[in-house]
Structure 1
């Protein structure tokens, strides 16, 4: 029971930090946090949806495609994580109105918080949703690492988002991905609490 409570707290914290990075720092500049973030930014740009709601809809729809690959338990935790992320985005977007923004400062702060949040989720064996579930399906079907399809899917989304909104977005998006990935690796390597992780078999 204690382990379950600790996991719930960490998943909520991870989703909240991820949402803070997106809603408070990245999304105001239309910087996509990933493939799902890029699609959410496009939905917001086109239909004026709340970004948190748009991201939840994208994540939820993609998660449904991959439930049988992730398993029901992981899927439930993932729904909790992406819901907390969306709620956090909504909270920070509506609560903190920053008029004098600094692009570079927001870029670095948002990327660091994004990576920290994703790292906490991954240490618990929880997917942060997004196009990662599609990459996972492709990797299962073609027996390849999920990193390869994830990279190309994200790149396609970034390029399309940049073409629609602004070409500088692709540079910012790739830079944000690099920083957040470094943070994910750092968080996953630290040994400061008992983590619950998915065991991967080497073929």
Structure 2
């Protein structure tokens, strides 16, 4: 009879080793059908991908469904990743495509833009209940008031710590356009924060 303790120890060592590997190495392993690597990549990035999608679709159930679709695509297409960007950038590119597709489908179902704006965002409820002295909460609330294009730029740069080059790849626009949008997004955000009593936008 096999030694169960030894087998469990070996499995634990394999998981620990996989957790220490880079995202690129995990993708190579996933391309070979390694489910443990897929699980680790999912655990490493699913929260970030979910939050990114949620800021676009503003619906928790839709965001959860899209996260599943994103990682299903990763499982199916891991071998196609060519390493031209960070794995996290690639994941957000897939996530953005799926989120925007979902939004287009929603509009196709006769929900116009005004209706979309009026859909309640449950994620804002805790923030609105916080004291106005909580700068972090005020910042998040002000970001939600930005235009979709400007909110997307701020989200990628400050919440996901993406460079101008990476943002350009994710959105599919020139770096010069990223910089221009970033300039106006910061200006608009600074005005919103000032109106809330916060004098300075700290990056």
Query: Normalized against structure 1, the TM-score is what?
Result: 0.31
Higher relative contact order (CA 8 A, sep 6+): 1
Say which one has the larger Rg. Answer: 2
